[in-house]
Chain A
C-alpha cells in the first residue's frame, strides 16, 4: 500500500529548477525518514505533499487522490503536517490541540462531542493532559513539541508528516519525541513521514529512509538497504559506524 505517491514532480522557486523529476513512494504503515544535506529540497517536498507548493509538472497522490484535486479540509482529514514553528502561539495546550479539529468543523470554534473526545484522546496519547491549561510559551521545547504532535493527532489522519520534529530539542527530548512517533506508528497504525537532520535518530527510529540530494531522490529503501547502498555516505561525505550495545543500536558518524 502506498500512502503518498510522488510522481515525476518538478518545482522551482524562481527560474532555476529546484526539484526536477522527483518520484518517490511512501509505504502505508511505515515510518519513513527523508534525509539529505541542507537545501536539498526536503522541506519543499513536505510543502508539495500538502499542496502548499504547486508542482510545475507531475503530481502528488495522497491515498490515490491528487493533492491538488482535494479541497483544503478534505486533504487535512487525510494528511496532517507538523511544520517547524519558530514562534509558539499564545494559547493553551488544550486550545492548540482543539485547532486540530478545524478540518471537521463547518463553524469554527464550536467543538462537538466527537471533537472533544478526539482532543482528549490526542492529549492522552501525547502525554500532555496535565499541561492542558498551560500557555505553550511556558513549556519546555519537548513538551511543546508533544503538544503540537497532539494537535496533528486530533486531526485524526492516517498519515502524519513531520518537518524536522527534533530541531532545537535537547537530546533527551529528541528521543522522547521519537519514541512518541514510534508509538503512534505501532499503536495507532499511523503512516509517518518525517524530514530529519539527525542521522542517528533517522536510522534508529525509521523503517525506511529516503536520501535526497539536490532535488532528487538518490536512494530509498529499508534502513539496512540504505546503509548497504552507501547513499548517506555520498550525500553527506561521512562514514557511518553502527554501534551495538545492550541498550540497542546507535550510529556514529565520522567525516569521510
Chain B
C-alpha cells in the first residue's frame, strides 16, 4: 500500500542492498591474513578440486566468520528497528537501552563464577539481554513512557551494569582474558559450533519479526489508536521487545558487544524507503548483515597483519553518525525526511 514511486524506490533499494550483500560476502571469503583466490572459492563452492590449504581456510576460518557476521548484523539491525518502533524512539537501539550491557554483565559473571563451562557464556549473554529488556520495559511502563525516560533509564541501567562489569574485572582480572574480544565486539576465532544454536534463534526470530512487521505499523499510530483498532498494545509491545531481546542476545552471544549497528542501519534504511516496517525490517536485516560483513573484512585488512576487533571499527563509524543524528533530530529534520 505504498505509493508507486515508493514501491520503485523500495524495489531499487532492495536490489541494491542484496547486490551489495552478495559482493561483500564473496569478498569477505577472499580477503584476510592469508588470501584465497576467487577461482578457489568458486571451485570450492561448486564442489570442485581445491588445495587443502585453501579449503581449510575457507571451511574453518572464513565460513564461520562470514556466517557469524551475517547473522549478528542482521539480528542486531532488525532488533534495532523493532526497538525503535516499539518504544517510539528514534534514538533507541539494543545498545542504548542496555540490552548489550546486560548481556556483557552476565557473560562476565558466568566467566568468573564458572570459568570451566565453555557453553555457558553464550547462554548468559542471551539471558542477560532478555532480563535487561524486561527491566527497561518495566521502567517505561512505570514512568510516563516518554522517549526521554526510556533513554535515561537505559543509560542508568548501562551505567549500573557497567559498574558491575568493572567490579568483576577488578576482583577477578582473569575474567578479562578471553572476554576482551567479547567486550569490544569481535568475530576473530569464531567456530562453526559456536554459531549453530544462536543461528537457529536468529533465523526463527527474523521470521517472526518479518511476520509481525505490520503490527509495528499499527503501534506507530500511538497506544490509544492501536488499542481502538483491537490490538492488545501492552502484550504486543512486550512480545516484540522480547523478540528484539532474543535477536540481539543471540547476536551478542556470537559477536560480543557490537556497537552502533542496531542504531545506524534502521535509520539509513528508513531514510531511503520510508517508515513502513514491512520494508524497514527485512531491509534493515539485509543492510545490517552487509555492514557487519564489510566492517569485519576491513578490520582484517586495514592494520594487517594486526587485526582490529570489528566492534572498534564500527564504533568509529557509528559514533559520528550518532552525533549527526542528534543534531538533525533537534530540528526534527531527520524524522521529517523519512
Contacts and interface: CB of A to CB of B under 8 A. Distances in A.
A83 B226 CA distance: 10
Contact of A90 (B2, B228, B278, B335): B335
Nearest to B221: A89
A107 B214 CA distance: 8
A169 interface: no
B336 interface: yes
Contacts of A103: 229-230
A219 to B, nearest CB: 28
Nearest to B224: A83
B19 to A, nearest CB: 26
A90 B230 contact: no
B217 A91 contact: yes
Interface string B23-45: 00000000000000000000000
A133 interface: yes
B338 A90 contact: yes
Contacts of B3: 92, 94, 133
Interface stretch (A70-78, A184-192, A221-229): A70-78
A95 interface: yes
A139 interface: no
A108 interface: yes
B217 to A, nearest CB: 7
Interface in A75-115: 75-77, 79-83, 85, 87, 89-92, 94-96, 98-100, 102-103, 107-109, 111
B276 interface: yes
Residue from B221, B229, B232, B278 having most chain A Cβ neighbours under 10 A = B229
Interface residues of A, number: 37
Nearest to B229: A102
B2 to A, nearest CB: 7
A137 interface: yes
Interface string A37-78: 000000000010011100000000000000000011111110
B222 interface: yes
Contact of A108 (B215, B335, B336, B338): B215
Interface string B274-288: 111010000000000
B228 A80 contact: yes
B2 A52 contact: no
Contacts of B336: 137
B328 interface: no
Contacts of A206: none
A177 interface: no
A74 B230 contact: yes
B9 interface: no
A72 B230 contact: yes
Given A50-B228, A76-B228, A103-B229, A92 B218 contact: no
Contacts of A118: none
Interface of B: 1-6, 211-215, 217-218, 220-222, 224-225, 227-232, 274-276, 278, 335-336, 338
7 contacts: A52-B227, A74-B230, A79-B228, A81-B228, A90-B335, A107-B211, A155-B229
